[in-house]
Amino acid sequence: MENQTVPTDMPTRDRILASARKHFLALGFQAASIRKIASDAGFTPGALYGYFGSKEELFYALADPPLSRIMQKLNDIENEMMTLPPEKRLFGMNAIFYSQIPELADLIFEDRAIVNLVVNGSKGTKYENFLAELVGRNIHVICEAAENVEEKNIRMVDEETLEILMEGYIATLFHLIVSGRDKQTVIRCMGLFGKIYETGILSLIKKENECDL
Amino acid sequence: MENQTVPTDMPTRDRILASARKHFLALGFQAASIRKIASDAGFTPGALYGYFGSKEELFYALADPPLSRIMQKLNDIENEMMTLPPEKRLFGMNAIFYSQIPELADLIFEDRAIVNLVVNGSKGTKYENFLAELVGRNIHVICEAAENVEEKNIRMVDEETLEILMEGYIATLFHLIVSGRDKQTVIRCMGLFGKIYETGILSLIKKENECDL
Amino acid sequence: MENQTVPTDMPTRDRILASARKHFLALGFQAASIRKIASDAGFTPGALYGYFGSKEELFYALADPPLSRIMQKLNDIENEMMTLPPEKRLFGMNAIFYSQIPELADLIFEDRAIVNLVVNGSKGTKYENFLAELVGRNIHVICEAAENVEEKNIRMVDEETLEILMEGYIATLFHLIVSGRDKQTVIRCMGLFGKIYETGILSLIKKENECDL
Amino acid sequence: MENQTVPTDMPTRDRILASARKHFLALGFQAASIRKIASDAGFTPGALYGYFGSKEELFYALADPPLSRIMQKLNDIENEMMTLPPEKRLFGMNAIFYSQIPELADLIFEDRAIVNLVVNGSKGTKYENFLAELVGRNIHVICEAAENVEEKNIRMVDEETLEILMEGYIATLFHLIVSGRDKQTVIRCMGLFGKIYETGILSLIKKENECDL
DNA sequence: AATGAATGAGGGTTCATTCAT
DNA sequence: CATGAATGAACCCTCATTCAT
């Protein structure tokens, strides 16, 4: 991590952010050094505190904007799901999600590296449990939907299993997103994983009705 | 992390290990402090170096034994797969893996927390790419098997997709293992994920034969 | 070595250097303590690293300037010797060296203590073999000159003896320089030792021609 | 410096000494580590303190015996010089010294490495000024002899110059002794240096009488 | 006679942060 | 706005030494 590799034809704040980005991505929040971030930006550490109150605030200045855009999109998707009548919601959610994958991917790919950072290098910040919280949110939505499903004759997989599947799905999606593959591949595979989990789950449900798993 | 919370009715080495375990699990390798590990065990930092040559050695004293047992088991499983005739290997591998899940789970559950530590908090140690290396290994085995599959009329999914699926599967398994659920649930869900991925992949193959995905 | 004995009416860098000088001179490189150097200068250890990257760098900040001036002078002297025709070089070298002794002494006396430090307390630094390297350099020059000497009828002392004499001469010179005597005395005695060795060697050569030593 | 390289078929004390010797020679007094000395001898550090009260005592257990034998020999030589009538002493001393060189060399070569250690690696011990003290002693003897010299018509070089010459001579001798050359070479060169200094000094005196230096 | 355990002090170094200028 | 100086705490680690056993 050499000195002064960040372009100098930018406002100070942006130079600091560019340098911080580089260091946080390479080392994670904890291992990155304010001193090196500053010197790499061409400033002294003190300068940094004119713009950001602390190392953590600096991190959030990088992570918050893309993260909140993504969270907003997820909220939108969730809200759209909520417009479905409750008894059709569980099986309609997927279609809505699939249809939004390209837009969601666009959003994520606007700054995929930051998503990676939040997922893998945010220990010590408010995002350190980001993935777990995301899973929690989705579980909540799905479970509500599952309670209102109309076909009472098919018994759903139990809630814990659902949670685990959801965790697996989300972990897998983020693993994929963060893996460095190109956007088209990621979009394709997000759909792929969706179908795999869907098909798998449906086969589970059928089997549950026929016999015991 | 207060001082002196580790029981004093144990040999020193064990007290240090217990304390180190606590701190490493809570903070990861890098963020944990030798000073605090020592003082929490009721000793001065110097005492620790009578038993372990370095912070890293201390980490390995915790991580190596369970990890090497697990790696040994994975080797055994792989070797058993290799006893299958090459042209039947791809579709026979799963059965072998399923049959070994309980034993593998037993092994993992002997010290699941350490597996978690290795997966999530081992930056700075030789294990920092553990998961990626595990995925790499498995990809290798599977791809070899895929090349020798006999049914030439069904076109396999392409290698990149296979890799992504494998990554997703393994990431999911470890996510599950590390999630804190009880052993029976984990064993059940390891099978579940296996079936989901298997079913999903088969449905993929069928679709590929019918039309284009 | 008490705290805070270095004058406070100097820039920080100079205070650190003054303190470091004191400690290095008194204890040598290895035994001197960064903590004590800093506190003696009236600072915390961290302050020191704002000016010098490491203990070694701090040492070099003291040792390099005088040392490189001296080495430069020695290079100049050597170059001047090289302007002599090869066959006259061996016996002409001395005169050149004598003529340069005052300037060389001036240079050395600009910071004789540092020369002492380098000669006696530089273990662990790049200067730890300074004297030996200096001897090696001179041996090289002299041996070359000896090969081209014109008077083939006088047999030179063998190379090993020459090396030993050279070592003795240089060791003696530095011993003298470092001994704390005033400049005039040192200059006088540098000449004196030169003549002693010269006379001694000449008498040797003569004896060698007359009979065996 | 590996563990346990010292032969085990010796009494403990000797094994410790052998190991200490190795470490002190390689690193000097200060940089050598009791812990490593002990472990290299096949013991724990504590064991060492059953035989030697401190690191320094251990050093002396190695250094004192050869050193005191050498000092004894030097005393003997000095005493023999004292048997000369005072007015003949100055010019008779050399002959006595030359005649004793072989025995002195034998003594030194019994443990030349220790002499090297004392000269070059004894900082922090009572021997750290060994050479300077030796010089001081000899100066004393010579100066006394110089005061009683009978030929009042030849003015000796002044006392300071004498001291410096003596220092140079002794420093040179020890430099030679410690340089690692074989005993025959050392003995030959000890004589050589003696003659060089003698011849040189005589020529000085003559010149002083003829004209000014 | 030797160990094993442990200490307390200290080693060089890096850190995020503060603040007067 | 940015610096430069400095801090105090913390980092991992090594040391010579002690002492009960």
Residue of A nearest to B164 (CA): A176
CA/C1' separation C5–F5 (Å): 20
| Alpha carbon distances (Å) from C54 to C26, C47, C57, C190 | 19, 12, 5, 36
Which helix (H) or strand (E) is B188 found in, with range? Answer: helix B183-210
* Weakest mean pLDDT among A39-48, C107-116, C157-166, D151-160: D151-160
Instruction: Give one DSSP letter per residue of D139-166, joined into a string.
Output: HHHHHHHHHT-S-TTSPPPPHHHHHHHH
Residue position matching structure tokens 């002078």: C73
Please report the DSSP string for B3-67 in residue order: SS-S-SSS-HHHHHHHHHHHHHHHHHHHH--HHHHHHHHTS-HHHHTTT-SSHHHHHHHHHHHHH
CA C159 to chain centre: 23
Looking up tokens 């200060």 gives D30
pLDDT digits (tens, 9 = 90+) for D20-55: 999 999 999 999 999 999 999 999 999 999 999 999
Query: Which residue's CA is nearest to the C1' of nucleotide E15?
Result: A33
How far is CA B84 from its chain centroid?
24
Secondary structure of residue C75 in the 3-state scheme: helix
Please give the pLDDT value at position D36: 92
The residue of D181, D199, D202 whose CB has the most chain C CBs within 10 angstroms, and thus the best one to mutate to test that interface, is: D199
* Residues C62-84: tens digit of each pLDDT: 999 999 999 999 999 999 999 99
Which pLDDT belongs to residue D61? Answer: 95
Residue B16 near residue B43, CB atoms below 8 Å? yes
F16: residue with closest CA to C1' = D34
Cβ <8 Å between A195 and B200: yes
Q: Which residues of A touch B195 (CB under 8 A)?
A: 200, 203-204
B155 has pLDDT over 80: no
C-beta atoms of C175 and D171 within 8 A: yes
Domain locations in chain A as residue ranges:
12-49, 63-205
Query: Is there a contact between C203 and D195 if contact means CB atoms under 8 Å apart?
Result: yes
DSSP string, B97-130: HHHHHHHHHHHHHHTHHHHHHHHHS-TTSTTTTH
CB contact under 8 A, C196 and D124: no
Calculate the alpha carbon distances from B118 to A164, B124, B210, C86 in Å.
21, 11, 43, 71
Write out chain A residues lying below 8 Å of B30, CB-based.
Answer: 30-31
A195/B203 Cβ within 8 A: yes
Q: How many CB atoms lie within 10 A of CB D145?
A: 20
Pick the closest to residue B168 from A185, A142, A94 (CA basis): A185
Contact A62, A24 (CB under 8 A): yes
Residue B190, pLDDT score: 87
Neighbours of chain C (3+ CB pairs under 8 A): D
Q: Give the mean model confidence (pLDDT) for residues B46-66.
A: 94
Nearest CA in chain C to D163: C176
Contact at CB, A204 and B196, closer than 8 angstroms: yes
**One digit per residue, pLDDT tens: chain A, 213 residues?**
555 677 777 888 899 999 999 999 999 999 999 999 999 998 999 999 999 999 999 999 999 999 999 999 999 999 999 999 888 887 788 889 889 989 999 999 999 999 999 998 998 899 988 988 888 888 888 878 877 776 655 555 677 787 788 888 888 888 888 888 998 899 888 888 888 887 777 766 665 555 444
Within 13 Å and on the Cβ side, how many CA atoms surround B50?
12
Question: Distances from the Cα of D110 to the Cαs of D98, D104, D114, D163, in angstroms?
Answer: 19, 10, 9, 29
Residue type present at position A168: G
Task: Tell me the pLDDT of chain C averaged across its residues.
Answer: 86
Q: What Å value separates CA C116 and C1' F15?
A: 28
Chains A and C share 3 or more Cβ pairs within 8 Å: no
pLDDT of residue A197: 83
| Residue among D21, D164, D138 at smallest CA distance from D71 | D138
Chain C residue with minimum CA distance to D132: C179
Residue C212's pLDDT is what? 43
- pLDDT computed for residue A19 by the predictor: 93
Using one digit for the tens of pLDDT, what is the confidence trace for C160-198? 887 888 888 888 888 888 888 999 999 988 888 888 888
Side chain identity at C129, as an amino acid letter? Answer: N
Give the separation between CA B116 and CA C208, rounded to whole angstroms: 82
Q: Which two tokens mark B207? A: 């679709």
Mean pLDDT of chain B: 85
**Nearest nt (C1') from A13 Cα:** F1
CATH of domain B12-49: 1.10.10.60
Long-range contacts of B8-15 (CB under 8 A, 24+ apart): B8/B42, B12/B41, B12/B43, B12/B47, B12/B51, B13/B51, B15/B41, B15/B42, B15/B43
pLDDT surpassing 60 at residue C1:
no
Q: How far apart are CA A132 and CA A119, in angstroms?
A: 10
Let me know: does C159 contact C143? Beta carbons within 8 Å: yes
pLDDT for D105-130, tens place per residue? 999 999 999 999 999 899 999 999 89
Count of C-beta atoms within a 10 Å radius of residue D130: 18
Tokens of residue A53, six digits = 């109150």
D31 touches strand E (CB under 7 A): no
Residue C152: pLDDT band with limits 50, 70, 90: low
For residues C213 and A99, what is the distance between their CA atoms, to the nearest angstrom? 104
C123 vs D100: CA distance, rounded Å? 35
Q: Where are the alpha helices (DSSP H) in B111-182?
A: 112-120, 130-147, 159-177
Return the H-helix or E-strand segment holding D54. none
Query: Alpha helix locations (H) across chain C?
Result: 12-31, 34-41, 45-48, 55-82, 86-110, 112-120, 130-147, 159-178, 183-210
| Three-state SS at A181 | coil
Tens of pLDDT along A82-104? 999 888 887 788 889 889 989 99
What sign for the dihedral angle of Cα C50, C54, C59, C65?
negative
Provide the CA A200 to C1' F20 distance, Å, integer.
Answer: 67
pLDDT over 60 (residue D135):
yes
Cβ < 7 Å from strand E, D residues 48-67: 49-50
**Residue B168 or A150, more confident:** B168
Interface of C with D (CB under 8 A): 28, 30-31, 123, 160-161, 164-165, 167-168, 171-172, 175-176, 179, 181, 185, 188-189, 192-193, 195-197, 199-201, 203-204, 213
Kindly report which amino acid residue has its CA closest to the C1' atom of nucleotide F15: D33
Q: Is the CB of A99 under 7 A from strand E?
A: no
pLDDT over threshold 90, residue B21: yes
**Share above pLDDT 90 across residues of chain D, in percent, rounded to a whole number:** 44
pLDDT-derived band of residue C108, with 50, 70 and 90 as boundaries?
A: very high
| Residues C208 and C155: beta-carbon distance below 8 Å | yes
**Which residue in A79, A71, A105 sits closest to A182, CA to CA?**
A105
